[in-house]
Structure formats: C-alpha cells, structure tokens
Structure 1
Amino acid sequence: MLFGIFLALSLSNMNLAGQTGSSEIVSSRPDKVIEAVMEKPGDPEKAIEAEYQALKSRGTRKALELFIRRHADHPLAEQAREDIRRLGK
C-alpha cells in the first residue's frame, strides 16, 4: 500500500505535508489538498484464529509447534497441544 502512495505522489508531483501530524497530502498546487485515509486495523483475535486454522490444516506437528511458539499464552495454544497429542496416536 505504501508503495502505491509513493508512486502516486511521484507521478502527480506531490509532496507530503511536514512533520505537523497532519493526515493531509499537499499538492505543489495550493488549491488542491487530498485527505489521506488509513484502513482500520483488523481484529487481532480473528487473525490468530485464522493462523491457527491455517497451520492446523497442514496436519503436521511442526506447524502446530510453530503456532504454540508464536502464541504460547493464547487459549488456542492449548488446543494446538491437544492436536499434537492426537497426531501422536
């Protein structure tokens, strides 16, 4: 996404606003100001659940151990441990 912004800036001959904390992008023409919009961050819980499902779908102990290392304190880590126990049987 940042690459696209920088590409757009360079193609349209625009400069970023100074270090004022402004979210505006100011054109070299003073009559043209564009509001910059950032995407809302995603739900971290959903991201962890999606990662668990993706690694679990691999069906390997190594993938589940990776999840446990990354999210040792998350409740799904215990589920991953249980999945590993089931793989061992």
Structure 2
Amino acid sequence: MFVLELTYTAPLDAVDAVLPAHVAWLEEQYDKGLFLASGRKNPRDGGVILAVAGDRAHIEELVASDPFVVGGVCAYRVTEFIATKTAPELARHRQTLG
C-alpha cells in the first residue's frame, strides 16, 4: 500500500487551473481500483492519496501521469508501507510481512 503526499509547487490559482483534469484523473484511478481515499491537506498546500498497486514502479509511473505533475504544479512524496492491519472494509488489502 502507498501513501502519496502531494505538495503544491505553484500558486493556488495555477493549481486550480489544472484541478478539473486532476479530478478526472483521480476518478480514473478509483475506477481501476488503485485509489482508496484522497483529499486536500489542511491548510491547502497539497493533498494525500491512499493507493494500492502491485509495485512501486507502477505507482511512480502513475503519479508521473497526474495532470498536476504534467502541469508542473505539484510534487509527490511516495511512501510504501505494509498494511498488516486494516478496517474491516479494507480487509482485502491486508498484507503479511515477509
């Protein structure tokens, strides 16, 4: 599982100009089952996405395709972790060590 932390690298008006394309991109990833949750940080200086994928390379490729990245308005920090415990609703995403 991955925590994707977005940090805006441009003023909010530039971010907002790309926002509709970013939201459409988010919807595509939800439809594919890759994203579990997402939203803005508070204060609004970026966002956070909880994602699942087979490997880090796939996630790196995915974040490079985000219109926010393509438009040069954000940078990503990707953190991989092993989700050994989850809420019942996320049981299918539980992982084991080793």
- TM-score surpassing 0.5? no
TM-score by length of 1: 0.27
Larger-gyration structure (1/2): 1
Question: Which one has more relative contact order, counting CA pairs under 8 Å at least 6 apart?
Answer: 2
